[in-house]
Structure 1
Amino acid sequence: MNKIPNRKAICDVLLKEAETDKDIVVLCSDSRGSASLAPFADTYPEQFVEMGIAEQDLVSVSAGLAHCGKKAFAASPACFLSTRSYEQCKIDVAYSNTNVKLIGISGGISYGALGMSHHSAQDIAAMSAIPNMRVYLPSDRFQTAKLIEALLKDEKPAYIRVGRNPVEDIYTEDNCPFEMDKATVLAEGTDAAIIACGEMVRPAYEAAKLLEKDGIHATVLDMYCVKPLDKEAIVKAASNAKVVVTAEEHAPYGGLGSMVSQVVGAECPRKVLNIALPDAPVVSGTSQEVFDYYGMNAEGIAKTVKDALK
Structure 2
Amino acid sequence: MSQLLQVGEKASMRDVFGEVLLNITKKDTKAVVLDGDLANSTKTDTVAKGNAAQFLQMGIAEQNMMGVAAGLASVGLQPWVCTFASFITKRALDQITVSVAQPKLNVKMIGAYSGLLTGCTGKTHQGVEDVAIMRSIPNMVVLAPADGVELIHMMEFAHQYDGPVYIRLARDAQPQIFDIETHRFELGKGLFVKEGGDLTIITTGTQTERSVEAARLLEKEGIHASVLHMPTIKPLDQEAVVKAARETGAIVVAEEHNIIGGLGSAVAEILGEQYPTPMIRVGVQDRNTESGKNEDLLKKYNITPADMVVKAKEVLSRKR
Q: TM-score range by the shorter chain?
A: over 0.9
* C-alpha displacement of 1:179: 1.8
Calculate the TM-score normalised by the size of structure 2: 0.93
Q: Deviations over 1:129-171 (max 9, x none)?
A: 1111111111111001110011111111011110111111111
The answer (yes or no) to whether the contact 2:298–2:304 under 8 Å persists in 1 is yes
Identity of aligned residues (%): 35
2:149 counterpart (139, 142, 149) = 142
Alignment match, 2:236: 229
Which residues of 2 match residues 98-247 of structure 1 at below 5 A?
98-247=105-254
Can you give the 5+ residue segments of structure 1 that lack an aligned partner in the other structure?
none
**Structure 1 residue 74 and structure 2 residue 99: aligned?**
no
Match of 1:222, as an amino acid? Answer: H
Matched with 1:304 is 311
Alignment of 1:75-94 (within 5 A): 75-94=82-101
Q: Is the 8 A contact 1:4 1:141 kept in 2?
A: yes
Distance 1:185 1:288 in 2: 26
Q: How many residues align?
A: 310
- DSSP 3-state at the match of 2:34: strand
Aligned to 2:313, the other structure's residue is in SS state helix
| AA at the equivalent of 1:33 | N
In structure 2, give the amino acid aligned to 1:215: G
Shift of 1:40: 1.0
In the TM superposition, what whole-angstrom CA distance separates every residue of 1:182-239 from its partner, at most 9, and x where no partner exists? 1111011221010011111101111111212222111111111111111111111111
SS in 2 for 1:198: coil
| Residues 1:266 and 2:273 are matched in the alignment | yes
For structure 2, the 5+ residue unaligned runs are: 1-7
Q: 1:36 pairs with 33, 37, 43, which one?
A: 43
Distance 2:226 2:184 in 1: 16
Give the 3-state SS of the residue equivalent to 1:248 in structure 2. strand
Looking at structure 2, the residues matched to 223 and 118 of structure 1 have their Cα atoms a distance apart, in angstroms, of 25
Question: Per-residue CA shift, 1:42-65, capped at 9, x if unaligned?
Answer: 111110100000000111111111
1:15 paired residue among 22, 28, 36: 22
CA RMSD of aligned residues (A): 1.4
TM-score for both structures, normalised by structure 1: 0.96
Q: Is the Cα–Cα contact under 8 Å of residues 32 and 38 in structure 1 kept in the other structure? A: yes
Deviations 1:10-60 (A, max 9, x none): 222222232221111111000111111111111111101000000001111
The offset of 1:296, in angstroms, is 1.0
CA-CA distance at 1:94 after TM superposition: 0.2
Deviation at 1:112, TM superposition (A): 5.0
User: For residues 57-99 of structure 1, what are the alpha-carbon distances to aligned partners after superposition, in whole Å with 9 as ceiling and x for unaligned?
Assistant: 1111111111111111000111110001000010111012110
